[in-house]
Structure 1
Amino acid sequence: MYKEELEKIYYKALKKVQADSIIQDNISLKKDILKVVDETVNLKKIDNLYIFGVGKAAYAMAKECEKIIGEKISGGVVVSTTKGKLKHLTHFTSTHPEVTKKSEKAANLLFEKSSQLNKNDYFIFLLSGGASAMIEKPIEGLSLEDFIKGSSALLTSGIDIKALNTIRKSISQIKGGKLANNFKAKGKVLVLSDVIGDDLNIIGSAPMNNGKFKHHLVGNNKIALKEAKKYCKNSFEKVDIITTTLAKDSEKACSYISKKIKEYDKKYKKFVLLFGGETTTTVKSKNGYGGRNQELALRLFINDSIDKNISILSAGSDGIDGRSDATGAFVDFELHKKIKKLNLNPNEFLDNSDSNTFFKKVGYDFVTGITGTNVMDFIIVLKKGEE
């Protein structure tokens, strides 16, 4: 197995869209002149500078903002799932992927703080994937308990993220640009995309997108995979980004990827194929552990699309894959020997939505911990010729 090389490719892609890289590329400060993407702000001419943020990458992005801007930050609120303290900002740890009472507390905190800004203040809002669950305030007449029941049912239904976020917006007081109505100050929204097509109306259920504030896409799956391709270019005969918009269910995605592997396998001895996007999966058993990446990896193995020179890594960029501590899994030809030795039936684990248990048993699970970013998933197929 080419595990080490697959990991290196993964981390090269990841680094390009992690908080420090993104913020350093888009925010700078010289004396009292703050540059935010394409705008220059003279801090002497505003009353206060605030930082707000919501999403899986919010804490890490805000921490980097503090390093650059420091004492010139007047305050703000950051909501994420990461544990940690910020020096100049209130950090609230919420939940994901399920909406909880913490989500409502986080929403109330954002409403309270943002309402205090005046017209001569300036803010930077950091938005990333996961915001949909982390902040929530249901419409009047709908209890949080009923909202949670509906959201939980949707999460395990196999529904795609666009449809999920559309439903969430219609029953929320914060999504679909509704939070933006609370801001009287001027500001910008920096967006790290975790959705197919980078639709600003979809990312995080668009709490700030009502046309009032300019949004800037500062990181996405394509940027990450381009960096991975650049890294692999000199070491392989062929390196291609096949797609950054993979949005099929795991079964169809498996067939699609398998077909591409066979096409390239006939032509090249050494290649890397890069796929990006976000597949969907229907949970068949609530007792199983795993997520879409581990299920896809398991399907690719069962589908017999791997010869002895091919290894695959399917992994999320956020460090989390469904109901498990892994972000994905590896598969290769040697796995046949391992399952025979351990007397395992891969199909049983697939049928029970228990891919993580399978990969843990064979030692092929990929655990990174929370990465501080989220640009959907990376599927890396690597083939080396006979040594």
Structure 2
Amino acid sequence: MQRGKPGAGRPVRTSRQVRALRQERGWRVLVATLLVLTAVAGTVGWTLEKGETPRTGPPPGITAWRADRVFGVPLPDPVRDPPSAAREFFAALSEAKARALARRHPGVVGNLDGAPVSLRYEANARALRLGRSEQRVRSVNPAVPPAGRAQARELAARYSALLTPGRQILAFDPRGRGQVAEVHGDLGRARHVSVIVPGSDNDLSTFDRSRDAYSTPSGMARSLRRAAGDDIAVIAWVGYTTPTGLGPDAATARLAAAGAPRLNRFVTALPTVDGAPRPVVFCHSYGSVVCGLAASGLAASELVVLGSPGLRADDVADLRTRARVWAARDDSDWIRRVPNVEFLGLGHGRDPVDPAFGALRVPTGQVKGHTGYFAPNTESLRAFAEIATGSGTVTGRPPADSDAP
């Protein structure tokens, strides 16, 4: 092919032609946006739910915490102070005083970024026991309507499941639909740390359901740790309000924008072993929208998105992240049929597996559907384990034009 100067051989367009092309592009975007709505409705059902109210404020018990002067000084504030303030505060306390504080304020200490991990586990176990007792009383209270008593029994059962010996609950907020984070592995000693950020319909009730286990946050985390080995800690993080169903909340970035600062703070506060790399963050489905908005401030070494509707970015450079970016999407995933546009707040932009986006591709052999990426014996899980530990043969490859969806 003969090459000349840039632009050589291209027709010169008049201003009228340029305006016509711009108008045509505008119509294409509008049509594509309508296709987003049509594809979602026809593929998985458009849920006309009332918009979710994001939980973004301080943890339960904050009023009593801020008023407490047990040590003659203000306690570290979980919203106003950086996680380093909590870290320094507890480093100066004796173990007895720290545990006493966790007993007095389990809701705050259990969710306090920067507090010792073991203390957070202890505080959240106490908060769960208190919550279970309250729900058991409510479940037999004749003054509570039957539906309320049934809900109380269900909540008590969920709390009991999280209190199973050996579980390490790093965050727990029972308000609303509930938020929770669980650690798999020894976070204080692990040479590698990964965080999994799930998508729609994840909350306290769906955190570790038995049906379709590898689609749940805890199931994904357990599967990754089994594949990656004992030298890793994996955290299942449902620390933001996720969309319910695939309605307006899933099509916009409103909930993702509320969750992104929470993810940044959480990851920044994670303890790391000296010399260990920064955490690897895996983002599934709508969780990748959260990660895309958080990317510029996310303290991650690798950012892996899977089954993504888009990251609200045109390309990797637009994310303004120091992390290496990977993308996985199998042809069997229904999300490939959702047009990747962003218009009037709807849609999430370019598909990250598009060659023009610039992410490294993750192989997806043996993956089935939108939730199969962490299933055993899949190429994606093997690649995830290697990315998480920095080992093995997966190095990624720039996507070729033939890989375009």
Tell me the TM-score range normalised by the shorter chain. under 0.3
Q: By percentage of residues, which structure has more strand?
A: 1
Asked which structure has the greater RCO (Cα within 8 Å, sep 6+), the reply is: 1
Max Rg structure:
2
